[in-house]
Structure 1
Amino acid sequence: MKIAACVILYYPKEDDLQNISTYLPKVEKLYVYDNTENKTLKSYFKESNPKIMYFSDLENKGVSTRLNQACNQAITDGFDFLLTMDQDSSFTEENLVKYLIAIQNYPNIESVAQFGLEYDPDDKKANDNEIVAEEDYELITSASIINLKNYIKIGNFDENLFIDGVDFDYCFASLQKGLKCIRFKNIFFNHSLGIKVKRGSFKTFYLLKKEKYLCAPIRIYYLVRNTLYLEKKYGAIFPEYIAKLKKRNNSSINTNLNYSSNIFEYFNYKRKAISDFKNNRMGKYQD
């Protein structure tokens, strides 16, 4: 199995860069796409490992464009599969080895668009006796392994989305082509769920404090706008999947609104997201 990996950086911290070492030994090539806008890490990566190819144009081009660049580069370089990683994600060596073995042993691999895993904020170990392959069309980008032969059939990641929903769109596009998305249950990777806070909500006048994971305010814009976009694109084709996606995303949006320390900023992003969707303003957020 000839496999490369890619990771998309955005103002990475040292811990984010260290995450790379958890999967680099198991791939033949790593494509690093840096969306940081005001500095480059070219010298850092030049000295780190000859497996690494680093790309930076000092622009934030989001997730979908970078994934398309990585897939096309991997195809050009003769790879069959591409592991896609977020900068805040990592593996234990044991779990990554089990993941790769599970893919190698999967029957009819040519029918699969991509593989994925369960994620956990801690280094949870896999149990060999409980590993199950299931069809799942809600695989997230991080730790997915794309079958590059089928990437050509499916087409590009949708660059209208920029970030948020890029992964689900690819799952739905795969399903449209009659291809499977497979998640291996009970194999885990470490993945950040957002910013962990303990505070009260707007609904309880901020009196009852709970631990919640919140995202940056700008992500509310993309969540709202892109959920509307995916509903328009796939709602009539996959109503059950879209209903489930809307329910989860709306829950996340409401949690962020209710537990935000600046609720008006979140509401403003939500309002602009709806307006931009109605006016067909997609891609990167514009003031």
Structure 2
Amino acid sequence: MKPKVAAYITCYQDQESANRCIQAIESQSIQVTAIYIVDNSDKPLLLNENNQLLLIHHYPNNIGIAEGLVKALEWAIYQEYNFLWTFDQDSVPIANCLEILLETYYQLSQKNNYEIGIIAPTPSDPRTGKVIEGAVFFNDHFLGLKHNNSVDFYECDSPITSGSLISLAAAKTISPPSPDLFIDGIDLDYGLRLRQKGFHNLIATKAIMHHNFGSPIQVKFMNKYRYIQQYSPLRYYYICRNHSYLETRFSQGYYRFTSLMRRIKYMLLQILFIMLYDLEDKQLKIWACLLGTYRGLSGNISKTW
């Protein structure tokens, strides 16, 4: 039986990137049957509707990635799709990406008691040449899992949201993402909860996707060149808040304390990098890190920035 696959894209203020993503999805060797789009832009983007696949929902109030994903999952489950292929607008999968993901999924699904929640491509940032790692939760924090190109696939707890092919049979067994997360940590939370339910989350090494990850700049720190990410105050707030909330809540026993210490250390490092390398809104970004970390550690994620 041919699987029924829908794609989902979160769009925000970048028409060119959104149309590139749409074109890449429509050009796949295996066709999706619909592309569900949440457009959070102030004004509706002019999106190319070449194959009449687009289902566009405009939310000028910006409902975020999390609530958009909730709506797409609910719609896809109601429409009896088998998979939802999720994207940020700044991602471009190569032409056989979906084909490889599905082939790997069905090959592994033949194993006894091997149920897959998410299968994702290998995302790389063309600006830095770096693979964007999936995450595993280790004791008290999420840790990037070193990419292994010598195998066809490997497991992780949480692939990044963009490019993830979600089994809707698995999605039915857990609660959807929390809309309160808004724009950060959604992948970490959702992937790990699927893992805790007994599903396997995979990264397929031969399924390639180009993905612009954040706003990287190269700096020299402690006599070494490294890439760091620069964000808006809004993004600093949600990163610090959501990661502090998730990591301290997933940690157990003594590790809750060590997780708290890690989050404070992370906040201080971010403030240091802002002071050293950011050129604008330094005070506002520092406040965003402080407030976000405080609210995350205190469990108050209903407060928006």
RMSD, aligned CA: 3.2
Is this contact kept in 2: 1:131–1:185, CA < 8 A?
yes
Q: Following the alignment from structure 1 to structure 2, what is the Cα–Cα distance between the partners of residues 174 and 69?
A: 18
Separation (CA, whole Å) in 1 of partners of 2:216 and 2:248: 32
Contact 1:117–1:188 (Cα < 8 Å) also in 2: yes
How do 1:1-287 residues align onto structure 2 when only pairs under 5 Å count?
Answer: 1-25=3-27, 26-36=31-41, 38-41=42-45, 44-45=46-47, 47-108=49-110, 111-122=115-126, 130-198=150-218, 212-236=228-252, 250=266, 253=270, 256-257=273-274, 258-262=276-280, 263-277=282-296, 280-283=299-302, 285-286=304-305
Cα contact 1:200–1:259 (8 A) shared by 2: no
Aligned residues: 271
How far apart are the structure 1 equivalents of 2:69 and 2:249?
A: 20
Compared with structure 1, are the counterparts of its residues 183 and 198 closer, same or farther at alpha carbon in structure 2 (3 Å cutoff)?
closer
* CA distance, structure 2, for counterparts of residue 115 and residue 239 of structure 1: 29
Structure 1 stretches lacking a partner, 5+ long: none
- CA separation of 1:161 and 1:24: change in aligned 2, threshold 3 A: same
Kindly indicate whether the alpha-carbon contact (under 8 Å) linking 1:115 and 1:145 is maintained by their aligned counterparts in 2. yes
Q: Percent identity?
A: 23
TM-score of the aligned structures, taking structure 1 as reference length: 0.81
**Can you list the C-alpha shifts for 1:240-277, whole angstroms capped at 9, x where unaligned?**
9x96xx68x93984685343223323211111113333
1:159 maps to a residue whose letter is P
Contact 1:162 1:283 in 2 (8 A): no
Distance in 1 (alpha carbons) for counterparts of 2:50 and 2:44: 14
- How far is 1:30 from its partner? 0.5
Q: Are the aligned partners of 1:131 and 1:187 in contact in 2 as well (CA < 8 Å)?
A: no
Q: Alpha-carbon deviation of 1:235?
A: 0.8
| Residue-by-residue CA offset, 1:151-194 (whole Å, 9 max, x unaligned) | 11011112221111110101111122111111113432100122
**Distance (Å, rounded) in 2 between the aligned partners of 1:28 and 1:194:** 30
Q: Distance in 1 between matches of 2:199 and 2:119?
A: 11
Contact 1:162 / 1:284 at 8 angstroms: preserved in 2? Answer: no
TM-score, structure 2 normalization:
0.77
The DSSP-based 3-state class of the residue aligned with 1:142 is coil
Structure 2: runs of 5+ lacking an equivalent:
130-148
Superposed CA offset, 1:112-138 (max 9, x none): 1111122112399xxxx9442222013
